[in-house]
Chains A and B, each alone.
Chain A
Amino acid sequence: MKTVFDTSVPGREGVWPEKPRTEPVDFLPEGLLRSGRPNLPSLSELDVVRHFTRLSSKNYGVDSNFYPLGSCTMKYNPKFTEEVAALPGFSRLHPLLPQLPGGGDMASGALEVIHETERLLCEITGMAAFTLHPMAGAHGELTGALMMAAYHADKGHVKTKIICPDSAHGTNPASAAIAGFDVVSIASKDGIIDPEALAAVLDDQVAGVMMTVPNTLGLFERHLPRIVELCRKVDALLYYDGANLNAILGKLRVGDAGFDVVHLNLHKTFATPHGGGGPGSGPVGVSERLIPFLPVSRVFKDEAGRFSLRYDYPKSIGYVAPFYGNFGVVLKAYAYILRLGREGLPRVSEYAVLAANYLRKRLDDVLDVPYNRTCMHEFVASAERQAKRGVRALDIAKALLDKGYHAPTVYFPLIVKEALMIEPTETESKDTLDGFVADLRDILALAETDPAAVTAAPVTLPVGRLDETHAARAMEITDDLG
């Protein structure tokens, strides 16, 4: 398909403002001006509408396809939240406004949304305070790591290490490293953190332990109370990666369980759309002892109920975002929480966990499930058996694309060979789940009788498997680098 640069015809009229009376050269010396034009496309509105409508038809999305992507929580994105975020009273609000005198009153609706969302997230997670500034999950992790570093520095500790289990999501060690820590990995036992392995590396140099519940295998970390105890002994902070929160809404409040820092993914658990790779939002919650280190600004509500921004927190880590976070995303999550409310949120986890176990039981005769016990909202299967016959997890994933499903997460977590991580979420009907099981079973049967048919997939999509080696070697990353 052509690119917009191929379709462009110089001089073609787009959506233009009126012709200016002047030219930049009337006001600025030539030496400061661009010589020539930027060579951007010239397209009619119809060209643009057609181009992007056609491009969209080459995409899978939750709106059209089932996405059992483990650790991503690809649940339905309620459309009314889009309307809410687009209300002019929110979308046209300049972020600098509350930094002007009296500006807080003029943005009081927005400040109230922030204040209220923080309060609701505290209630949902059991944490003492929240910041909505981090603009994605990984950003939340970095923010959390920076706060952990600040806490220890404030106490005069010299803490250089952070511990992550080998099943951790890749952003955990990456974030810890940016905050200046060395990362120590510990091996899981029976799929979960082994307290003895943890105790062996927990010395007084350890700033914190980063983990998630359930973990990336979908298993509940049953040694959690012991882990909390071990961390307390050396004043190591316990960090919760909220990627899997969809499993425990209303069933476990991580703050109550002893976590000090928590990040959430609004684009996962709280149903804001993934957008093809963002924007997301990664709010961070903390226990009492970490409150002084939260980033600024913070929204303050006085006794009269008026909202304002406060910056006077001397121990704050500073600004992790230019303003208040991805407010447009926060709005959607806030609306979602209001919609579901106190009865609805726990139901989310109940049905997410039921659906995952249902798929597990309907597939565990044809796929290896390394830890085949009650899982939470996701489970990990292995295609090792099929791989021995030449059909790998990747091939099964591609064959699923041909059947109209987005593939599950593959090759993660790293501790399971030929991993397929499956998370159905609570919004998929039983019909969809049954259809998925039937189609996957067909593929696995085909893998036995005609492996070549599976390894050739996908064959029904606009392109087949793409040469990634060529892409990396040729480095054609713009139209001009071809």
Chain B
Amino acid sequence: MIPKDLLYSKTHEWAKIEGGIATVGITDFAQEQLGDITYVDLPKVGTVFEAGQEMGSVESVKAASELYCPVSGEVVEINQELDAAPEKINADPFGEGWMIKVKVTDEPDDLLSPEEYAEIAQAEH
């Protein structure tokens, strides 16, 4: 599943940018690859990232993966629910499984369209 109204990174994050704020999470493909997610390590509110910079990690029983911030900006909110219920990422990766909200400072210029991301996900399968 690849929602049409989002932008994507090569590293399987998605971003929804509205009013200068980007909501970020990982894609359905990513959560499927990882399996049951057991823990997610998110950055602190106030941290500033460059697009593509490592921002945390996500762990499942069999794998661990770094998370990369798809946009440049400052973290303004993190999804507190994920601490007790990381499984929300598996169940609803584009909705309740959202991870952080970033106040965007630079227009992201190398994010992928849903079609471009679909190709990448297909190739890695």
Contact = CB atoms under 8 A, between A and B. Distances in A.
Interface in B53-110: 59-61, 86-87
A242 to B, nearest CB: 28
A468 B60 CA distance: 10
Contacts, number: 16
B36 interface: yes
A469 B87 CA distance: 10
Contacts of B60: 469, 472
Contacts of B59: 472
A469 B90 CA distance: 12
B38 interface: yes
Nearest to B85: A473
B29 interface: no
Contacts of A468: 61
Contacts of B61: 468-469, 472
Most buried by A among B35, B38, B59: B38
Interface in A458-478: 468-469, 472-473
The B interface is mostly helix, strand or loop, or mixed, namely mixed
Interface residues of A, number: 4
A472 B61 CA distance: 7
Most buried by A among B39, B60, B61, B86: B61
A369 to B, nearest CB: 25
A468 B35 CA distance: 11
Interface in B23-56: 35-36, 38-39
Interface residues of B, number: 9
Contacts of A473: 38-39, 86-87
B38 to A, nearest CB: 4
A476 to B, nearest CB: 13
A469 B86 CA distance: 11
B31 to A, nearest CB: 13
Contacts of A472: 36, 38-39, 59-61
A53 to B, nearest CB: 32
A469 B39 CA distance: 10
Contacts of A469: 35-36, 38, 60-61
Nearest to A468: B61
A85 B36 CA distance: 45
Contacts of B35: 469
Contacts of B86: 473
A468 B38 CA distance: 10
Most buried by A among B35, B36, B86, B87: B36
A282 B61 CA distance: 29
A469 B91 CA distance: 14
A472 B39 CA distance: 8
Nearest to A474: B38
Interface in A327-382: none
A103 B38 CA distance: 53
Nearest to B59: A472
Interface in A241-268: none
Contacts of B39: 472-473
A473 B35 CA distance: 13
Nearest to A471: B61
A77 B60 CA distance: 36
A412 to B, nearest CB: 12
Contacts of B36: 469, 472
A343 to B, nearest CB: 45
A397 to B, nearest CB: 14
A473 B83 CA distance: 10
16 contacts: A468-B61, A469-B35, A469-B36, A469-B38, A469-B60, A469-B61, A472-B36, A472-B38, A472-B39, A472-B59, A472-B60, A472-B61, A473-B38, A473-B39, A473-B86, A473-B87
Interface of B: 35-36, 38-39, 59-61, 86-87
Which 9 pairs show the lowest CB-CB distances between chains A and B?
A472-B38, A469-B36, A468-B61, A473-B38, A469-B61, A472-B61, A469-B38, A472-B39, A473-B86
Given A472-B38, A472-B39, A473-B86, 13 more contacts: A468-B61, A469-B35, A469-B36, A469-B38, A469-B60, A469-B61, A472-B36, A472-B59, A472-B60, A472-B61, A473-B38, A473-B39, A473-B87
